[in-house]
Amino acid sequence: MIALETEKAYPENYQQTVQQVVKENETGYLPPLKTKIDSIENYDFVFVGFPTWDMKMPPPMKSFLKQYNFSGKTFIPFNTNAGYGVGTGFETVKELCPNSKVLEGFEMKAGAERDGQYLVIKGEKAEEAQEKVKNWLKKIKLIQ
Protein backbone atom coordinates (compact mmCIF):
# COMPACT_ATOMS: atom_id res chain seq x y z
CA MET A 1 0.00 0.00 0.00
CA ILE A 2 1.45 3.34 -0.95
CA ALA A 3 0.19 6.90 -0.49
CA LEU A 4 0.81 9.42 -3.25
CA GLU A 5 2.70 12.48 -2.13
CA THR A 6 3.16 15.52 -4.32
CA GLU A 7 6.51 17.31 -4.55
CA LYS A 8 4.81 20.50 -3.44
CA ALA A 9 2.16 20.07 -0.73
CA TYR A 10 -1.33 21.51 -1.30
CA PRO A 11 -2.23 24.50 0.93
CA GLU A 12 -3.43 23.77 4.48
CA ASN A 13 -6.44 25.98 3.79
CA TYR A 14 -9.36 24.09 2.23
CA GLN A 15 -10.66 26.93 0.04
CA GLN A 16 -7.17 27.67 -1.30
CA THR A 17 -6.77 24.00 -2.19
CA VAL A 18 -10.15 24.00 -3.95
CA GLN A 19 -9.15 27.07 -5.99
CA GLN A 20 -5.79 25.53 -6.91
CA VAL A 21 -7.43 22.25 -7.94
CA VAL A 22 -10.02 24.03 -10.11
CA LYS A 23 -7.16 25.81 -11.92
CA GLU A 24 -5.17 22.60 -12.30
CA ASN A 25 -8.21 20.90 -13.80
CA GLU A 26 -8.81 23.79 -16.20
CA THR A 27 -5.24 23.73 -17.50
CA GLY A 28 -4.70 19.97 -17.27
CA TYR A 29 -1.73 20.51 -14.95
CA LEU A 30 -0.27 17.28 -13.55
CA PRO A 31 1.51 17.96 -10.23
CA PRO A 32 4.89 16.17 -9.99
CA LEU A 33 4.92 13.36 -7.43
CA LYS A 34 7.51 12.77 -4.74
CA THR A 35 6.33 9.15 -4.59
CA LYS A 36 8.22 6.86 -6.96
CA ILE A 37 7.49 3.21 -7.61
CA ASP A 38 10.30 1.24 -9.22
CA SER A 39 8.58 -2.14 -9.40
CA ILE A 40 5.25 -1.45 -11.08
CA GLU A 41 5.84 -4.39 -13.45
CA ASN A 42 5.52 -6.76 -10.47
CA TYR A 43 1.84 -5.96 -10.00
CA ASP A 44 -1.06 -7.29 -12.07
CA PHE A 45 -3.84 -5.79 -9.93
CA VAL A 46 -3.79 -2.18 -8.77
CA PHE A 47 -6.34 -0.82 -6.30
CA VAL A 48 -6.56 2.94 -6.86
CA GLY A 49 -8.24 4.88 -4.07
CA PHE A 50 -8.92 8.60 -4.26
CA PRO A 51 -11.31 11.23 -2.88
CA THR A 52 -13.58 13.25 -5.16
CA TRP A 53 -12.12 16.70 -5.72
CA ASP A 54 -14.06 19.21 -7.82
CA MET A 55 -16.31 16.26 -8.86
CA LYS A 56 -13.25 14.70 -10.51
CA MET A 57 -10.22 12.55 -9.87
CA PRO A 58 -7.62 14.59 -7.93
CA PRO A 59 -4.77 15.84 -10.17
CA PRO A 60 -2.06 13.86 -8.26
CA MET A 61 -3.84 10.60 -9.08
CA LYS A 62 -3.91 11.64 -12.74
CA SER A 63 -0.13 12.24 -12.48
CA PHE A 64 0.26 8.71 -11.13
CA LEU A 65 -1.85 7.05 -13.81
CA LYS A 66 -0.07 8.97 -16.60
CA GLN A 67 3.41 8.29 -15.25
CA TYR A 68 3.55 4.49 -15.46
CA ASN A 69 2.75 1.89 -18.05
CA PHE A 70 -0.30 0.00 -16.81
CA SER A 71 -0.99 -1.86 -20.06
CA GLY A 72 -2.55 -5.24 -19.43
CA LYS A 73 -3.05 -4.60 -15.71
CA THR A 74 -6.37 -4.60 -13.88
CA PHE A 75 -7.51 -1.58 -11.87
CA ILE A 76 -9.89 -1.77 -8.94
CA PRO A 77 -10.93 1.84 -8.22
CA PHE A 78 -12.48 3.07 -4.97
CA ASN A 79 -13.49 6.53 -3.84
CA THR A 80 -14.60 8.61 -0.89
CA ASN A 81 -16.52 11.85 -1.21
CA ALA A 82 -18.46 14.37 0.83
CA GLY A 83 -21.79 13.01 -0.38
CA TYR A 84 -21.84 14.10 -4.02
CA GLY A 85 -20.49 10.84 -5.41
CA VAL A 86 -17.44 9.95 -7.45
CA GLY A 87 -18.19 12.35 -10.31
CA THR A 88 -16.09 11.48 -13.36
CA GLY A 89 -13.30 9.79 -11.38
CA PHE A 90 -13.85 6.19 -12.46
CA GLU A 91 -14.26 7.21 -16.11
CA THR A 92 -10.93 9.00 -15.88
CA VAL A 93 -9.18 5.76 -14.89
CA LYS A 94 -10.44 4.26 -18.16
CA GLU A 95 -9.51 7.32 -20.20
CA LEU A 96 -5.97 7.56 -18.84
CA CYS A 97 -5.30 3.82 -19.05
CA PRO A 98 -7.14 2.62 -22.18
CA ASN A 99 -5.08 -0.60 -22.35
CA SER A 100 -5.96 -1.68 -18.82
CA LYS A 101 -9.00 -3.46 -17.48
CA VAL A 102 -11.04 -1.42 -14.99
CA LEU A 103 -13.35 -3.29 -12.63
CA GLU A 104 -16.53 -1.81 -11.15
CA GLY A 105 -15.54 0.79 -8.58
CA PHE A 106 -16.73 1.43 -5.04
CA GLU A 107 -17.71 4.82 -3.65
CA MET A 108 -18.77 5.93 -0.22
CA LYS A 109 -19.55 9.13 1.61
CA ALA A 110 -16.78 9.95 4.08
CA GLY A 111 -15.56 13.19 5.64
CA ALA A 112 -16.23 16.71 4.40
CA GLU A 113 -13.31 19.11 4.86
CA ARG A 114 -15.59 21.98 3.86
CA ASP A 115 -17.67 21.38 6.97
CA GLY A 116 -14.71 20.55 9.23
CA GLN A 117 -15.56 16.84 9.30
CA TYR A 118 -12.43 14.69 9.32
CA LEU A 119 -11.79 10.97 9.76
CA VAL A 120 -15.45 10.00 9.91
CA ILE A 121 -14.99 6.33 9.01
CA LYS A 122 -14.86 5.00 12.56
CA GLY A 123 -17.23 3.23 14.95
CA GLU A 124 -20.56 2.34 13.33
CA LYS A 125 -19.55 4.00 10.08
CA ALA A 126 -16.45 1.78 9.91
CA GLU A 127 -18.66 -1.30 10.35
CA GLU A 128 -20.97 -0.05 7.61
CA ALA A 129 -17.96 0.56 5.36
CA GLN A 130 -16.60 -2.92 6.03
CA GLU A 131 -19.92 -4.50 5.08
CA LYS A 132 -20.24 -2.43 1.90
CA VAL A 133 -16.67 -3.15 0.86
CA LYS A 134 -17.18 -6.87 1.45
CA ASN A 135 -20.31 -6.88 -0.73
CA TRP A 136 -18.54 -4.97 -3.47
CA LEU A 137 -15.53 -7.33 -3.45
CA LYS A 138 -17.93 -10.27 -3.69
CA LYS A 139 -19.75 -8.63 -6.58
CA ILE A 140 -16.56 -8.12 -8.56
CA LYS A 141 -15.53 -11.68 -7.59
CA LEU A 142 -12.35 -10.79 -5.75
CA ILE A 143 -13.57 -12.64 -2.64
CA GLN A 144 -16.17 -15.37 -2.20
Residues that bind ligand FMN (CB under 6 A): 14, 17-18, 21, 51-55, 80-84, 110-113, 120-121
Q: How far is the CB of 104 from ligand FMN (least distance, A)?
A: 19
Q: How far is the CB of 58 from ligand FMN (least distance, A)?
A: 7
**Between 69 and 114, CB nearer to ligand FMN:** 114
> What is d(CA 59, CA 140) in angstroms, rounded to the nearest whole number?
27
CB of 41 to ligand FMN, least distance (A): 29
Residue 62 to residues 74, 105, 124, 133, Cα–Cα distance (Å): 16, 16, 32, 24
Shorter beta-carbon distance to ligand FMN: residue 2 or 44: 2
Cα 4–Cα 9–Cα 11 angle in degrees, nearest 5: 130
Pick between residue 33 and residue 120 the one whose CB is nearest to ligand FMN. 120
Q: Which residue, 66 or 125, is less far from ligand FMN as judged by CB?
A: 125
Q: In whole angstroms, what is the distance from residue 54 CA to residue 26 CA?
A: 11
Q: Which of 65, 58, 64 is nearest to 102 (CA)?
A: 65
Q: Are 7 and 31 in contact (CB under 8 A)?
A: yes
Minimum distance of ligand FMN from residue 129's CB (angstroms): 10
